[in-house]
Structure 1
Amino acid sequence: MADSNWTSPSPSTFILVGIPGLEKAHLWISIPFCSVYILSLLGNSLLLAVIKVEPTLHEPMYLFLAMLAFTDLVVSTTAVPKTLCIFWFRDGATHIDMCLAQIFLIHCLTTMESGFMLAMAFDRYVAICNPLQHSAILTNRVITMIGLGIVMRGAVLLGPHPILLRQLPYCTTNVISHTYCEFMALVKLACVDTTVLRAYGLVVAFLTGGLDFIFIVLSYILILRAVFNLPSKEARLKSLGTCSSHVCIMLVSYTPAFFSFFSHRFGHMDPHIHILVANVYLLVPPMMNPIIYGVRTPGIRQSVVHILGLKPV
């Protein structure tokens, strides 16, 4: 463990301590962490394989879902293996460049996840509010452009994060009380005024997850208005059923994300609670997304059964 009186302004290595106050339970905590990670890898890999090999799933909703699944795979792999090294081997040392790369990837990829969920909401809006023009509006070229736009937005807005953090002096400690490198965790270690950097982080968060959430809510207001104007109860239920999986994914993703974001900046809670919530934000949605869509979407469920050679239920 690094000395508490450490005074180097430019560390080459940071020390991740895991979950402060729960060090003795790290081995037990690693069991659900590892289990959820394995389920995420299997679920998202299977989902990607199903969408790739099944021609009937080459539709906008499933293509956006495949982008979300790939992003989930990368973001969980960016964070969890190092966390497990801390829990199993007490290996919390990480080079500053690796730490900054992890910060960029985690924040950039979670921003992309939010963007893909907005794209899926847009697909549901077009499918329900303008069904006759759905295929004409969401062509393969448009889907590709939306995907690239989401990736570029994350890269451009989050790219300055590691550059700005690299310039800060860390003259009190190089110990990070977290399981992974996180933007605000490093900002709090700096021994200079970070008001501008904190403000930049807030602006970026609003321009990505904040605006995405607002547009998703607006799209569902329009969707609900269109659904309740349908003539029959059966038609209304069928239309709402096509949105249920997406709504579940949003609840699973945005609830811990907003809780973690606001508690880190404005709240006062025990560090181990905040860190556990931050890990839930990275662990649970990648595991739940393929399960939710696999269970609630007949097309995916039937394709999985066919690929695995199981008898239809």
Structure 2
Amino acid sequence: MLLPSLGFFPFTDTLSISEPNQCTDHLMAAFNLSDSDRSSFILTGIPGLEAAHIWISIPFSMFYIIGLLGNFIVLFVVSKEKTLHEPMYLLLCMLVLTEIGTSTAIVPKALCIFWFNLKGITVGGCLTQMFFLHVGSVTHSAILMTMAFDRYVAICNPLRYAMILTNTRIAKLGLVCLTRAVLFILPLPLLLSRLPFCANRIIAHTYCDHMAVAKMSCGDITVNRTYGLSLVFIVLGFDLTLIAVSYGLIIRAILRIPSEKAHQKAFNTCTAHICVILISCTLSLFSTLTHRFSQGIAPYVHIILANLYYLLLPMLSPIVYGVKTKELRDKVRKYICTM
């Protein structure tokens, strides 16, 4: 939601090892990379906790598997039940797909580091991982914004809801969200691919993010910094503003309803979406504040929090929607009971 991995609104300000060439050569040898492999980067995993990588991989893999299982259940149930072929659930499926995509962009490589000590990643692989991770983050933010608009129309203009938000229009909005993300993020790997990279290519992280890769360059990264900062404020400012406006109008409309029962029913239609937004914002804000006031806090804390953002959201979102949305909960229970 808050685009933590673009480097300027970060969970982590990814550390890079900037020692003399002798130290770099030693590190390259330590990671089993020869001189011919210097076109690669090295992801260290979680520095300071290398001895605990196997133990850390247990919650990583559990969160990832639970998230995949929950999200695939949502996709399966919505695809099978025609009564759920509505804008709200189609948007939920889009949200689920972005969360599967972002977690899958980082977890398999992180587990390779933890389990097999496979820390090398090619420049092309690094830029590809970064691209899909950021595209997923920006798309996720846009879909949350679209879901807020969906709730606004459902509550403030219910008689025209079926006419305004058809399934076809929702599909087009989803395509717009994805296209916007691709167009915004595509310049990042293109700008990075033009930079000369230094001999020191040690990234103290489990995945490649924008500024982590930019800091490996010996060239001027002013354009990368400026574009990354502008991108975060444009995307974040636009999406959060529209979400806030939508819910402001929703609250105003609800308060005008005289019936307390109608109040409760209207609020219940928004609860799941609000919970997901709050979880996303809380994780991002907590980690960002931890980074900004990081005196005395070990670097691995920031890296763990950065990973938890992409692990906890996919795991918690289907749980929140399953608990808070009665129709979806009943359909999931029906399929579970028939197994």
| TM over 0.5, shorter chain | yes
> Under a length normalisation based on structure 1, what TM-score does the superposition of the two structures give?
0.93
Amino acid at match of 1:179: T
Q: Find the aligned partners of 1:220 and 1:35 in 2 and give their Cα distance.
A: 34
Q: Where in structure 2 are the equivalents of 1:175-190 lying within 5 Å? A: 175-190=202-217
For the residues of structure 2 that align with 1:122 and 1:286, how far apart are their CA atoms?
Answer: 22
For residues 13-69 of structure 1, the C-alpha deviation after alignment (integer angstroms, 9 at most, x for no partner) is 111001111111111111110000000110011100011001111111100000111
Gap regions ≥5 residues in structure 2: 1-16, 29-34
Once the two structures are superposed, the pairs formed by residues 54-203 of structure 1 within 5 Å of their partners are 54-203=81-230
Could you list the runs of 5+ residues in structure 1 that have no partner in the other structure? none
Query: Secondary structure of the residue that 1:309 maps to in structure 2?
Result: helix
Matches within 5 A, 1:3-82: 4-6=23-25, 11-82=38-109
Please tell me the residue identity of whatever aligns with 1:288. L
Give 1:274's aligned residue.
302
Distance 1:198-1:111 versus aligned 2 partners, 3 A rule:
same
Secondary structure of the corresponding residue to residue 122 of structure 1: helix
Letter aligned with residue 313 of structure 2: P
Whether the aligned pair in 2 keeps the contact of 1:100 and 1:162 (CA below 8 Å) is: yes
TM-superposed deviation, 1:262: 7.4
C-alpha distance in 2, partners of 1:113/1:152?
12
Report deviation, 1:4: 3.3
Match of 2:277 in 1: 250
Answer yes or no: is the 8 Å Cα contact 2:46–2:300 preserved in 1.
Answer: yes
Instruction: Select 1:208's aligned residue among 211, 214, 235.
Output: 235
User: TM-score, normalised to structure 2's length?
Assistant: 0.86
Q: Does structure 2 retain, via aligned residues, the 8 Å contact 1:256–1:278?
A: no
Residue 238 (structure 1) aligns with: 265
The share of aligned pairs that are identical, in percent, is: 46
Partner of 1:285: 313
1:288 & 1:37 partners in 2: Cα distance?
11
Q: Give 1:164 deviation, angstroms.
A: 0.9
Question: For the residues of structure 2 that align with 1:69 and 1:3, how far apart are their CA atoms?
Answer: 46
Deviation, structure 1 residue 118: 0.7
1:62 is paired with a residue of what secondary structure? Answer: helix
Q: CA distance change for structure 1 residues 113 and 271 in 2, over 3 Å: closer, same or farther?
A: same
**Residue 280 of structure 1: CA displacement?**
1.3
Q: Which has the higher contact order (CA 8 A, sep 6+)?
A: 2
Distance 1:185 1:30, change over 3 A: same
On the 8 A contact 2:38/2:199 being kept in 1, the answer is no
Q: Provide the aligned C-alpha RMSD in A.
A: 2.2
Q: Residues of 1 paired with 2:290 and 2:185: CA distance?
A: 21
Deviation of the 1:277 alpha carbon: 1.4
1:132-158 per-position Cα deviation (integer Å, ceiling 9, x unaligned): 111110012211210110000010000
Amino acid at match of 2:159: L
